[in-house]
Amino acid sequence: MNTDAEPLTSEANQLNRYEYLDLWRETFGRPPPKNISIGFMQRAISFEHQCVSGRRLSRQTLRRLKAIARDGASAVNSVSSLKPGTYLMREWNGRTYQVEVINDGFVLNGKTYKSLSAIAKHITGAHWSGPRFFGVSQ
């Protein structure tokens, strides 16, 4: 991993998909998951660069991390706490699925669903608790 990395600049935000794939490999030392979006790669690479550069976490993030350490992830990751713009990822049968939280539901591959359970059923073909499938509590 490149430890001299700087946060993404405005020029980096203009890269094409292939350039982002190369930047991902350079940053993380391995290829990205299949079907990963450019937006997610931008955020993940920026976050990794921020971590490597030694920037401190916000107080809110530190509080959340302490709550997770104390009470487990379910203490802070609930469906009701998901904000629009949040992305959930899940690998299933060798394929990575990325779901975006929006104001009135969830988006998978351009299609809007009213619940995570509907998406989990679409992915697996069986009834699942959507929050459990994506690792968030109800």
Structure confidence by residue, pLDDT tens digits, 30-44: 998 888 888 889 988
Structure tokens at 12: 């980096």
Average pLDDT, integer, range 49-68: 76
Residues 126 and 83 both lie in one domain: yes
Q: Report yes or no on 68 lying in a domain.
A: no
Q: For residue 43, what are the domain limits?
A: 12-52
Indicate whether 5 pLDDT > 50: no
Q: Report yes or no on 97 lying in a domain.
A: yes
Total domains present in the chain? 2
In tens, the pLDDT along 66-93 reads 777 776 655 445 666 788 999 999 989 9
Residues 87 and 48 both lie in one domain: no
Residues 84 and 128 both lie in one domain: yes
Q: Report yes or no on 125 lying in a domain.
A: yes
Q: Report yes or no on 85 lying in a domain.
A: yes
* Residue 106 burial (CB count, 10 A): 22
Residues in the chain: 138
Tell me, what's the pLDDT at 138?
Answer: 58
